């Protein structure tokens, strides 16, 4: 199909990130891999491009590579128990819930019911046809509110050691852990978080999973999204590293850590049922202005999928995230691997014949300040760089186009470097109205939206003094639509 038939060529429409064809989208939900397909459900109101919370559905898209997506009709709709808020999905391999009816394993989603009175409960739905149709469980809700209205976003995982299910649930200012033999009856195991981490806002969308630390040892990671109270204002996702003993999660550090320091990555959680990789994507927006960003036909996009790993820096373990390798299939054949001698400034778009509204750039630079300037002929520009004196990366979107829709949008956002290594590694993904900066192999990440009045046509890279960039590679990205 041509682009015009599909639509997806509107101003600001991302060309290689998932966004719904039309209307509102927020959090990713129910991410599960089954039978060769990645499922991505999402918070969606099918008839409004601003969130109509009482009418919140689970939208649905599928992909075989997390890059090319096919949007399907909304999967789960509100009912007498309330709107369908965020949650997760699992494959019930052992038929613990007894709901399997054919040869396919049952996919089970656990989500929050948000009723008109705001007192939230958890509900369940299941699919015996590879996620195409969903039936609500007859005895919903499966977990009743304990007296705190903010009681939501169940993320369920199978705990192999004890052969049972666990659920993390966000309860106002902490996470509660529940266990279950069958996904239907849940027992509270423990609480985490009242006196640790960032508390500038309410806790939402937790996720608990194990990762290998590269030396064969296993650590547990707890993700917690928080709104507001993020490092650059509004909503953001923090993480904790620690241990889970089959009842309780304990963090091994007391400092606050962010999965992404930029303003526009929220509510990200990992895919269920993916062996050997931990894959995540987030909602590429911020509750401070998500409802009024200047896209009207649709509102909301996801980040690129990212693979999570543990890394050690000065004896401390951190979570690093990098774009999944599947994205490389979108590279136009302009890729170039070499050393690039840089003498003050070069326009990369002109030199390599790149359309700088959608590209993937990587290089390694000595520990020096540098700046990339994306600009158009209307005098609008976006700045991305490293400030050596303050040891911080920045994305400055103050003059990058439309900002007046919100006071919270037109800012220069920063993130401290963690690594003390001499060289700085940069990977930068730009897609029409989004930028994702991965530094030092994903130790510090920044995701940001921007809305230029016309596409950027120049991409200038400058440094204060002569240097040679190593591993330089730039590729225009193909559209997925």
Whole-number minimum distance, CB 54 to ligand FRU, in Å? 11
Distance in angstroms (rounded) separating the CA atoms of residues 158 and 209: 10
Q: Rank residues 149 and 338 by Cβ distance to ligand FRU and give the closer one.
A: 149
| Residue selected from 13, 17, 57, 152 as contacting ligand FRU according to rule CB under 6 A | 152
| Residue selected from 25, 27, 424, 427 as contacting ligand FRU according to rule CB under 6 A | 27
Q: Calculate the CA dihedral of residues 420, 424, 427, 430 and round it to 10 degrees.
A: 100
Whole-number minimum distance, CB 272 to ligand FRU, in Å? 17
Is residue 167 within the footprint of ligand FRU (CB under 6 A)?
A: no
Pairing of strands 392-396, 412-416: antiparallel
| Residue selected from 31, 32, 56, 284 as contacting ligand FRU according to rule CB under 6 A | 56
Neighbours of 87 (CB within 10 A): 30
Is residue 237 within the footprint of ligand FRU (CB under 6 A)?
A: no
Burial 309-334 (b: 16+ CB within 10 A, else e): bbbeeeeebbbbbbbbebbeebbbee
Binding residues among 379-398 for ligand FRU as defined by CB under 6 A: none
Is residue 153 within the footprint of ligand FRU (CB under 6 A)?
A: yes
Q: Rank residues 59 and 385 by Cβ distance to ligand FRU and give the closer one.
A: 59
Neighbours of 36 (CB within 10 A): 8
Distance in angstroms (rounded) separating the CA atoms of residues 240 and 263: 19
Whole-number minimum distance, CB 228 to ligand FRU, in Å? 12
| Residue selected from 63, 86, 128, 413 as contacting ligand FRU according to rule CB under 6 A | 86
Q: Rank residues 50 and 139 by Cβ distance to ligand FRU and give the closer one.
A: 50
Q: Rank residues 118 and 339 by Cβ distance to ligand FRU and give the closer one.
A: 118
Options 27, 153, 396, 431, the catalytic residue = 27
Is residue 459 within the footprint of ligand FRU (CB under 6 A)?
A: no
Residues 445 and 435: beta-carbon distance below 8 Å: no
Q: Is 66 left (phi over 0), alpha (psi -120 to 50) or beta?
A: left
Whole-number minimum distance, CB 87 to ligand FRU, in Å? 8
Neighbours of 403 (CB within 10 A): 19
Whole-number minimum distance, CB 266 to ligand FRU, in Å? 6
Q: Rank residues 42 and 381 by Cβ distance to ligand FRU and give the closer one.
A: 42
Neighbours of 261 (CB within 10 A): 25
Q: Rank residues 28 and 452 by Cβ distance to ligand FRU and give the closer one.
A: 28
Distance in angstroms (rounded) separating the CA atoms of residues 226 and 201: 6
Is residue 85 within the footprint of ligand FRU (CB under 6 A)?
A: yes
User: Could you give the 3-state DSSP secondary structure of residue 148?
Assistant: coil
Residue count (the chain) = 481
Q: Rank residues 112 and 273 by Cβ distance to ligand FRU and give the closer one.
A: 112
Whole-number minimum distance, CB 239 to ligand FRU, in Å? 16
Is residue 204 within the footprint of ligand FRU (CB under 6 A)?
A: yes
Whole-number minimum distance, CB 287 to ligand FRU, in Å? 6
Active-site annotation holds for 387:
no
Any idea what DSSP says for residue 417? -
Q: Rank residues 110 and 330 by Cβ distance to ligand FRU and give the closer one.
A: 110
Task: State the number of CA atoms in the 13 A half-sphere of 458 facing the CB.
Answer: 18
Which residues are within 8 A (CB) of 220 and not within 5 positions of it... i.e. 6 or more apart? 208, 209, 210, 211, 241, 242, 243, 244, 249
Is residue 205 within the footprint of ligand FRU (CB under 6 A)?
A: yes
Q: How many residues bind ligand FRU (CB under 6 A)?
A: 13
| Residue selected from 43, 121, 238, 419 as contacting ligand FRU according to rule CB under 6 A | 43
Whole-number minimum distance, CB 267 to ligand FRU, in Å? 4
Whole-number minimum distance, CB 176 to ligand FRU, in Å? 14
| Residue selected from 112, 121, 128, 357 as contacting ligand FRU according to rule CB under 6 A | 112
Distance in angstroms (rounded) separating the CA atoms of residues 3 and 343: 40
| Residue selected from 26, 145, 375, 413 as contacting ligand FRU according to rule CB under 6 A | 26
Residues 124 and 184: beta-carbon distance below 8 Å: yes
Binding residues among 264-323 for ligand FRU as defined by CB under 6 A: 266-267
Is residue 18 within the footprint of ligand FRU (CB under 6 A)?
A: no
Bridge-partner residues for 394, per DSSP?
385, 414
Distance in angstroms (rounded) separating the CA atoms of residues 209 and 156: 10
Is residue 84 within the footprint of ligand FRU (CB under 6 A)?
A: no
Q: Rank residues 108 and 267 by Cβ distance to ligand FRU and give the closer one.
A: 267
User: Could you give the 3-state DSSP secondary structure of residue 55?
Assistant: helix
Cα distances (angstroms) measured from residue 131 to each of 61, 77, 123, 273 = 10, 14, 17, 14
Catalytic residues: 27
Which residues of this protein are in contact with ligand FRU, per CB under 6 A?
Answer: 26-27, 43, 56, 85-86, 112, 152-153, 204-205, 266-267
């Amino acid at each position: 199909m041509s682009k015009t038939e599909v639509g997806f060529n509107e101003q600001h429409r991302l060309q290689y990130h998932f966004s719904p064809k039309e209307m509102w989208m927020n959090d990713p939900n129910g991410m599960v891999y089954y039978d060769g397909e990645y499922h991505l459900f999402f918070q969606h109101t099918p008839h409004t491009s601003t969130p109509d919370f009482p009418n919140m559905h689970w939208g649905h898209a599928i992909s075989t590579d997390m890059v090319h997506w096919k949007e399907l009709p909304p999967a789960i709709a509100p009912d007498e128990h309330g709107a369908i808020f965020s949650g997760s999905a699992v494959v019930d391999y052992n038929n613990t819930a007894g709901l399997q009816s054919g040869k396919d394993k049952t996919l089970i989603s656990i989500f929050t019911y948000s009723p008109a009175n705001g007192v939230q409960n958890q509900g369940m739905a299941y699919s015996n046809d590879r996620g195409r149709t969903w039936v609500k469980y007859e005895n919903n809700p499966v977990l009743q509110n304990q007296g705190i209205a903010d009681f939501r976003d169940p993320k369920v995982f199978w705990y192999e050691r004890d052969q049972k299910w666990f659920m993390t649930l966000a309860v106002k200012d902490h996470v509660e852990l529940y266990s279950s033999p069958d996904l239907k009856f849940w027992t509270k195991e423990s609480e985490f978080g009242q006196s640790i981490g960032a508390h500038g806002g309410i806790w939402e969308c937790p996720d608990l999973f194990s990762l290998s630390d590269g030396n064969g040892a296993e650590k547990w990671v707890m993700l917690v999204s928080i709104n507001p109270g993020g490092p650059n204002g509004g909503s953001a996702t923090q993480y904790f590293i620690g241990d889970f003993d089959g009842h309780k999660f304990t963090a091994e550090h007391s400092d606050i850590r962010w999965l992404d320091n930029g303003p526009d990555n929220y509510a990200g959680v990992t895919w269920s049922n993916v062996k050997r990789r931990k894959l995540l994507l987030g909602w590429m927006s911020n509750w401070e202005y998500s409802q009024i960003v200047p896209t009207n036909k649709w509102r909301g996009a996801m980040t690129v999928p990212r693979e999570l790993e543990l890394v050690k820096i000065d004896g401390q373990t951190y979570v690093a995230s990098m774009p999944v390798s599947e994205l490389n299939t979108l590279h136009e054949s302009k890729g170039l691997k070499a050393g690039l001698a840089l003498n003050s400034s070069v326009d990369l778009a002109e030199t390599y014949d790149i359309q700088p509204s959608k590209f993937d750039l990587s290089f390694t630079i000595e520990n020096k300040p540098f700046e990339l300037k994306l600009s158009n002929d209307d005098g609008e520009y976006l700045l991305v760089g490293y400030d050596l004196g303050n040891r911080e990366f920045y994305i400055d979107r103050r003059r990058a186009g439309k900002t007046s829709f919100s006071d919270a949008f037109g800012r220069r956002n920063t993130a401290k470097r963690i690594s003390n290594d001499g060289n700085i590694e940069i990977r930068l993904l730009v897609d029409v109205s989004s930028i994702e900066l991965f530094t030092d192999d994903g130790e510090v990440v920044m995701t940001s939206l921007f809305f230029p009045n016309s596409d950027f046509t120049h991409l200038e890279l400058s440094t204060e003094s002569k240097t040679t960039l190593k591993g330089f590679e730039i590729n225009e990205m193909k559209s997925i639509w």
